[in-house]
Every structure is written in structure tokens, then in C-alpha cells.
A = this chain, B = another copy of it.
């Protein structure tokens, strides 16, 4: 099967670009002396994760128990579930653990820690640290950190370490700001680990990460592993942050021209928001890419052409300057006739991928292969 046989809209993975993205972060982590535990929430695809493992990754990170179950069934045994566990999910986690999965849980409260130990099973558990104020986690200097540690350790859980995610890196766009945030993420998580150790508690692991900080950290002293997800595909949000270029983006949506509005310079394609996702993550960034950057069928970006509007199954392609301006270009109608194929680079690979039951891997020679993807919880 080749590109021309694929019904549109379809999610394509450019194998060469993905391999390069995987190699880049893996080399960086090896150089900095830490393990890489990829976050598979981006792809939710066994075959993608196998490429990451083959390149040197150690274990995987998941965002749902369904991911944990599916990846465990496919032979991935070392799994970190990096969302604080709610008590009602513990039975499902326990079942997985008892089947032999080396499953690590996450907590950031005494309540959740108590619920974990109440199960009477020696779960491995990490404590989430808030290193940038953007989401969950305990402050590294908060007394509750030690309290949670004691509940876990005294209750028979394996206190595996601390974990943080500097998700505010998505709001930055200069190398210097990213370096500073990466150092803050490192420093505060290492500090939390030191506090636990000073309190006589075990804390073998210090896990940090987000794609922007992982690619910006200059040193990771005290850190044992890095988690990152979207680096495997990259996307336009990452390009605006500055950690990749649009030419690195390995995920794209193959689409077909279905109509035009000639006087407006609109080309209408069958990739609407259902195909691209509703993610408008570039809306407040340096360049607003609309619903995505338009490329030719081979994946080469076409200067100034974006999906500027979307209905559920209609994407509208027009000229845009990326700053809210644009112009009518009647030449587009002849250039991209009905039936023409285009590719669209997405704002956010995690969101766009989630719209599809499978990916089409496009290999260097042009042959393609179907790789299934999970959906739901």
C-alpha cells in the first residue's frame, strides 16, 4: 500500500522524521546520564513505543490505566502511571500489578497515600512535586511531603521517589527561559528528594520532564530519569516554543480537496476539526497556524498556507500571515483541484492522534503500513 491508496482523512507518521526525533532525545539523555521513560500518551501505539524502546528507552510513562493495560499486554512491563491515582481506580491498578506488571503509581496527598496503603499491596509509589505551579503536586518545602512519604513507607508501599512535570514550559519560547525552567524543575525535584532522604525515607528515583525542558536541560545532576511524550512526533506548538522546526514534525493528516470558494481564495478539504482535533494551541503563540500548516502530498510545507477555519468534516485552507491577517489567492483553486492530496501538520500531536483509530506509517521508500492506536479509558 502507498499514499495514494489511503482513504482520507488519515493520520500519517513519517518514519524517517520519527526515527530522527527518537534518536535526538535519546542521545541527549544518554549524554546527560539519565534514563529516558517516554510518555506513550502521545502515540498510544505499541509500534511507536517499540521504536522508542529499541533506541534505548527504559520503561514507559502512561496517562491512563487503559494505556497501562494495553502496553502491558504487548510486553511492556515497567510502567509509570503519571497521574495521581484516585481511590476508585486502585482495584484496576491492583489487578494489573498482580498480573506481573511493574506498575508505579503517583500521589500528591495524604488521602491518596492512605488509600494506596489500605489496599495491603506493596505498590511502588512516587510523590508528585509541584515545580512550576501549573497543575498538581506538593511544594518541595511543604511538610506534607514528608507526611505522605511516611504514610507510604510505614504502610508498606515502595516509596520509589519523586516526580515532577514542568508543564509551564509550553508557555515559553526562548532557549534561555527554557534552560532556566529545566534547571528549576531539576533543582526543586532534587530538593524534594533530599528532604525525604534527610527524613530517613527512601527516595531512589527523581523523575522530571516535559519535551521542552528535556530538550533544554544543560545538566541533570540528581535526576535519574526524564519523561517526555510529544518529542516522538513533535508539532507546531513545539515549533513555536523553539524545540523543533515544522520540518521535524512526523505526524500529519492526509487530506483530499473537496471544493473551493474561488472568489475568497478558499480550498476546502476533508480534514475538518474532527481530523485535526479542536486543539488551537498555536493561537496565543508567536505564529498562529490556525488548524495546521498545509504541505504537499510529500510533506513539504507550502509557504503561508494554513487551515484557517474548520467545521466537523470541512477544513478551509487559505493564505494567512499567522498573525490574524490573510489575503485571497484565487490561484489556489487551479493549483489544488478537486481530488488533490495535501498533508496538514497539526498544532498538537497528542490531540490530533487521538482522533484516529490507527496511523499509517510512511516509510522512506513510500510504502505504508497500518499501526493501530488506542482510544478511550
Residues of chain A touching chain B, judged by Cβ–Cβ distance below 8 Å, are 7-10, 41, 63-64, 83-89, 92, 108-109, 111-112, 115, 130, 135-136, 167, 256-261, 268, 270, 273-275, 277-280, 311-314, 316, 337-339, 348, 350-351, 354-358, 375-377
Nearest CB in chain B: distance from A229 CB, A? 9
Q: Check if B260 sits within 8 Å of A109, measured CB to CB.
A: yes
A377 to chain B, nearest CB (A): 6
Contact of B257 with A86 in the complex, beta carbons under 8 Å: yes
- Least CB distance from A99 to B in Å reads 18
- Known contacts A7-B92, A357-B375; is-contact A312 B350 (Cβ 8 Å): yes
Report A112 CB to chain B, min CB distance, Å.
Answer: 6
Q: Which residues of B contact A108 (CB under 8 A)?
A: 259
Copies in the complex: 2
B338 touching A87, Cβ below 8 Å: yes
Smallest beta-carbon distance A332→chain B, Å: 14
| Pair B338/A259 contact, Cβ less than 8 Å | no
Question: How many Å lie between the Cα of A24 and that of B281 in the bound state?
Answer: 37
Using A136-B261, A270-B83, A339-B88 as known contacts, say yes or no to A312 and B7 having CB atoms under 8 A apart.
Answer: no
Which residues of B sit under 8 angstroms from A313, Cβ to Cβ? 41, 63-64, 83
Q: How far is the CA of A130 from the CA of B264 in the complex (A)?
A: 13
Which partner residue on chain B sits nearest A91 by CB separation? B7
- Of chain B, the residue at the smallest CB distance from A10 is B377
Q: For A260, what are the chain B residues with a Cβ–Cβ distance below 8 Å?
A: 109
In the assembled complex, the CB of A40 is this many whole angstroms from the nearest CB of chain B, namely 12
On whether the beta carbons of A7 and B256 are closer than 8 Å, the reply is: no
Name, among A7, A109, A135, A167, the residue most crowded by chain B CB atoms within 10 Å (CB to CB): A135
- Whole-angstrom CA separation of A351 from B272 in the bound complex: 12
Question: Residues of B contacting A339 with CB < 8 Å?
Answer: 86-88, 111, 115
Task: Say whether A85 contacts B136, CB under 8 Å.
Answer: no
Contacts A109-B338, A136-B261 aside, 17 further interface pairs with beta carbons under 8 A come to A8-B377, A84-B259, A85-B258, A87-B339, A108-B259, A112-B258, A112-B259, A112-B338, A115-B338, A135-B314, A136-B259, A136-B314, A275-B377, A277-B277, A278-B348, A312-B350, A357-B376
Determine whether the beta carbon of A311 is less than 8 Å from that of B167: yes
Chain B residue nearest to A338 in the complex (CB): B111
A145 to chain B, nearest CB (A): 14
Compute how far the CA of A269 lies from the CA of B10 in the bound complex, rounded to whole angstroms. 32
The answer to whether B259 touches A88 (Cβ under 8 A) is no
Contact for A111 among B314, B337, B356, CB less than 8 A: B337
Q: Are A356 and B338 in contact (CB under 8 A)?
A: no
What 9 A-B pairs are tightest by C-beta distance, nearest first?
A278-B278, A357-B376, A278-B279, A63-B313, A111-B338, A86-B258, A86-B256, A84-B258, A136-B259
Cα–Cα, bound, A339→B107 (Å): 13
Complex contacts, A355 vs chain B, CB 8 Å: 354, 376
Contacts of A84 in B (CB 8 A): 258-259, 268
Smallest beta-carbon distance A275→chain B, Å? 8
